[in-house]
Structure 1
Amino acid sequence: MPVIGWTLATLLISAAGGLTLSLFDVPAGILMGGALAVSVAAIAGFRTSVPNRLRDGLFILVGLTMGASVASDTLGLVAQWPITLAALALELVVIVLVCGLVLIKLFKLDKGTAYLSSFPGHLSFIIGIASAGVGDPRQIIVIQVLRVMILTLCVPIGAIFLPVGNYDVGMTAEPMELTTLGMVAAGCIFTGWVFSRLRIPAGYVLGSMAFATAMKLTGNFEGSLPPLLVDITFIGMGALIGSRFAGISRAELARATVGGLLTTAITIGIVTLVAYGLTYIVDMPFGQLWLGLSPGGLESMGALAIALGYDTAFIAAHHVARLMMLTLAIPTVALLVRKT
């Protein structure tokens, strides 16, 4: 079968897995289901394929999607919570340092693999960095995907024990104009290409996100992305994530699984301690702080915030701030690791 045939088969497996998991209302089900399905197929010996050109296109779509998710009033919201945002920044540093050292000392991973496996979030961005030659992509993906899957289960379960708040707010976004989408997409492609030519790690992702974010914050990228485009992006990324498992040995898989479980437990513990400590400093419910500082996805955290009656603006601002911090921190750490 030619490469295009294997590629189409890989995408179909990802789509089937994603659609199946989404039927159970799992947050980010299309992404995680696709990644799981293709991972199982790859480990079973199926020849998965995601060509480099398609990978770069997916990275551009990821950056576009991330930029589109930034609220236009993010900068104003960020200025309202300096103490909790400072705690968030400190929390991220502690998580990466502690989890990275654990993976280096106990599991003997190299620094690139250990620290990229420790970042709580930006899975697609981290995959882009790893694909550029920093660390072992397969180990990183096993640990990160396992982290996301555990958090997908743990956060909603943990939310059952959170007290209900009394903040009532709703927000909907109208679909954006196709001309606006086309203009921003063209800018994302060009900026991603420039970043890549400058040899910036994960240049297509970072460049695309930088352009989309700039357009969003300046009021030139209003509205929501077409759901079909977002689903296509997730299906493609699920295929890319899963294809990284091709050729992985059982020993590699077992080691990464144990590392993923341990680092996820450490991450949840640190988030819980920081959120609890903040309740003595700021006048906010523990549940709201926990959801704002949790490394779960913005969509699932926002949905839980609405269901529990918490301030969704607070939740959204902190998750966007976390992604912005990680956007700067991940390539910086990758560059430092490369030089050592």
Structure 2
Amino acid sequence: MILHPSGKRLVRKAVTLGIGLVGGLVALIVGAPLPWLIGAQLALCLVALSGIQILGGAPEWPQKSRSLFFPVLGVMIGAAFSADILREIPGWWPALIAVTLFLLVAQAVVYLLFRHVGGYDRATAFFSSFPGGFVEAAVLGREAGAIERLVTLQHFLRVSLIVLLMPLIFWALSGHRVGSAAGLPTSDVNLTLGSATLLVAAGLIGSFIGPWLRFPAPEVSGPLSVSAVFHSAGLIEGSIPPIMLSLTQLVIGTSLGVGFVGIAGREFMRGVGLALAAFALVLGLAACSAWLIAPALETPKEAIILAFVPGGLAEMSLIALTLNLSVPFVILIHFYRILFTLGVIPQLARRVIDRSGA
């Protein structure tokens, strides 16, 4: 039987998701943290880098599928907010001061790594070390004359390594098994029809107001904000089925794993080495920051580290939710990080890049 090209692509996507599912099952069996995310990501990363083809083509999965689950993730994260949590927010100001200093120091240290060890030019090194959004770094870097493929590679590796390694590090240090939905807010009350309707409304309304108000990562932060208001007001009873969190993990993990398709060669391996070194430096700085400011906050050091390490807002939200690490604190710090990096750090780029000897 000869399949039409469109049929082949459909089968290829199904097999790709199946590979991610198998990887998630294996990770679940061995007791890995965030099994559906990490298992799917690792399985497809290995398949992609090995060059294995499916019906004559590389593993394939629509990256836009993540956008469909971002509102679901936002609504789930909003369930972690309550009136008591909102009253705690003013006490988090030491973390905002600390993360501001952390971002400036982390960018400087990683910039020096890419510049002097990696041999990148000033613009490429600066925007490869940019602790903000993937797309923003690529666009700003291109406008400044950076080598876009290197900026894109480093940011993809940054997010991938953080998503992969942070849960494993916490798992290794704590020794506790973390299930696929350990941190999802639960309730003895079944989700009522009225509450389910409000959750759907939160996703739809938030998906509209997020871009309209120009929130960072609007697909997540918009639904998150509306859901947080509904939950804080006590309008929603019951909890979202844990399978939704597992499914969100699977889709995001599959998308990240497929991102390695077409990446190979000496430049890639060198990029991985630099990304691992950058991750170690940033993690060390985040750990030092957590140790210094933890006495001023009623927040676990692990949550502070997770809040400071610059991964994607959606991915870090998912990790915080699954590991049950002070979700509102982690989300708000990352929200501030994105606003700060977009508002302040690009202004510093001119001084760094325009210096003589570039």
Q: Which amino acid aligns with 2:243?
A: L
- Which residue in the other structure is 2:224 paired with? 209
**1:257 and 2:268 matched:** no
Aligned partners of 2:20 and 2:44 also within 8 Å: yes
**1:173 and 2:179 matched:** no
- Which residue in the other structure is 1:319 paired with? 330
**1:34 and 2:48 matched:** no
**1:94 and 2:105 matched:** yes
- Pick the structure with greater CA Rg: 2
By how many angstroms is 1:242 displaced?
1.1
Aligned partners of 2:49 and 2:261 also within 8 Å: yes
> Structure 1: 5+ residue runs without aligned partners?
120-125, 161-170, 304-314
By how many angstroms is 1:195 displaced?
4.7
TM-score (norm 1): 0.72
TM-score (norm 2): 0.69
Aligned partners of 2:95 and 2:293 also within 8 Å: yes
How many residue pairs match? The answer is 307
- Which residue in the other structure is 1:142 paired with? 157
User: Counterparts of 1:142 and 1:56 in 2: how far apart (Å)?
Assistant: 20
Aligned partners of 2:61 and 2:254 also within 8 Å: yes
By how many angstroms is 1:31 displaced?
0.8
Q: In the TM superposition, what are the counterparts of 1:1-340 in structure 2 within 5 Å?
A: 1-45=7-51, 46=53, 47-51=58-62, 53-84=64-95, 86-103=97-114, 106-107=117-118, 108=120, 109=124, 111-115=126-130, 118=131, 126=133, 136-159=151-174, 173-174=187-188, 176-193=191-208, 195-196=210-211, 202-278=217-293, 282=296, 290-295=301-306, 297-299=319-321, 302=324, 315-316=326-327, 318-326=329-337, 328-329=339-340, 332=343
Aligned partners of 2:77 and 2:224 also within 8 Å: yes
By how many angstroms is 1:105 displaced?
5.1
> Structure 2: 5+ residue runs without aligned partners?
1-6, 142-147, 176-184, 308-318, 354-358
Aligned partners of 1:50 and 1:239 also within 8 Å: yes
Aligned partners of 2:206 and 2:224 also within 8 Å: no
In the superposition, relative to structure 1, how do residues 66 and 50 fare at CA in structure 2: closer, same or farther (>3 Å)? Answer: farther
> Which of 88-97 and 131-140 deviates more?
131-140
Aligned partners of 1:56 and 1:204 also within 8 Å: yes
Deviations 1:222-277 (A, max 9, x none): 54321111111111111111111110013243123212221222123213322343
Aligned partners of 1:7 and 1:49 also within 8 Å: yes
By how many angstroms is 1:326 displaced?
3.5
Aligned partners of 2:24 and 2:37 also within 8 Å: yes
Aligned partners of 1:189 and 1:204 also within 8 Å: no
User: Counterparts of 1:239 and 1:330 in 2: how far apart (Å)?
Assistant: 28
Deviations 1:315-337 (A, max 9, x none): 55543432332453466579879
Q: Which amino acid aligns with 2:227?
A: A
